[in-house]
Structure 1
């Protein structure tokens, strides 16, 4: 005959189960929270490379470019200054995107110490933050599935969709 378990052993087994479940839950929340934060940080990092030139325009050269030639990844054209202290250039380079077409004129900001330009104005600002919009959409899936925070995920997804839609409409 097998002796019955003492009452204290049964209680300690039941007490350890909730502790392990709590530890696993905390680990999942910590891991998914870290993944969501890294996705958002990467989105801001990718956006900031262009956004800094468009948002922080004080002291930067601004003007217009008339696109005269497009190649694989870039388009070029003459630069006409608008801001004081800016000098005209025969050729500046702008990244070729769906929003840049040959024969069109765009307002731009010159990147410091180069002949590279980025679009300015509302279209340039929204276009610069497109990577963040994608990161918001991706992170919303992690927040909903990994963290179980559906309201927060819907807010993030809505912000990402709004940003991407606004960029698409303005460009």
Structure 2
């Protein structure tokens, strides 16, 4: 005959499983969102085979976009009088940057180590956020510290290379 203690233990186990499942799902969704947000830019920077690459000299910045002239470096790439690059803290008027042209457009993204790290900044933020969920919701402090350390390293690397 089941006792109150056995029934209570079953409820605690069910609640623990529900917490782990819910927090595991939340942490996974946060990390997937970070990869998804980063991949839009990272694919152009990391998979450069067959893409146009060169340099852009920024001549004008207005709002969220800077423009400048594009000088090709790769074979088959054509010079352009005007290309657009996202205006961030790392893009300044008068500076020259190595870039990759997004296919089918006049938009460019930074290339090289700075471009790769900058493209993965959303993942760095997601790693930090997921570390809080893993520590608090899953109570896996070592895994949380590993996620947080990786996120901090990624964000610091991006900051230092820009």
TM range (shorter): over 0.9
Per-residue deviation, 1:85: 0.3
Q: 2:93 corresponds to which residue?
A: 102
Deviation per CA, 1:6-52: give whole Å up to 9, x if none.
xx4xx522211111100000000000000000000000000000000
Query: Which residue among 48, 53, 70 is the counterpart of 1:62?
Result: 53
Q: 1:37 corresponds to which residue?
A: 28
Q: 1:117 corresponds to which residue?
A: 108
Point out the structure with max Rg over C-alpha.
1
Query: Hey, what's the Cα distance between the residues in 1 that align with 2:39 and 2:47?
Result: 11
**SS of the residue aligned with 1:166?**
helix
Number of corresponding residues = 162
**SS of the residue aligned with 1:83?**
coil
Q: Which runs of no fewer than 5 residues in structure 1 stay unpaired?
A: 1-7
Query: Which residue among 148, 156, 161 is the counterpart of 1:165?
Result: 156
Residues 1:81 and 2:72 aligned together: yes
Query: Following superposition, which runs of at least 4 residues in structure 1 exceed 6 angstroms of deviation?
Result: none
**SS of the residue aligned with 2:3?**
helix
Q: CA-atom RMSD, angstroms?
A: 0.6
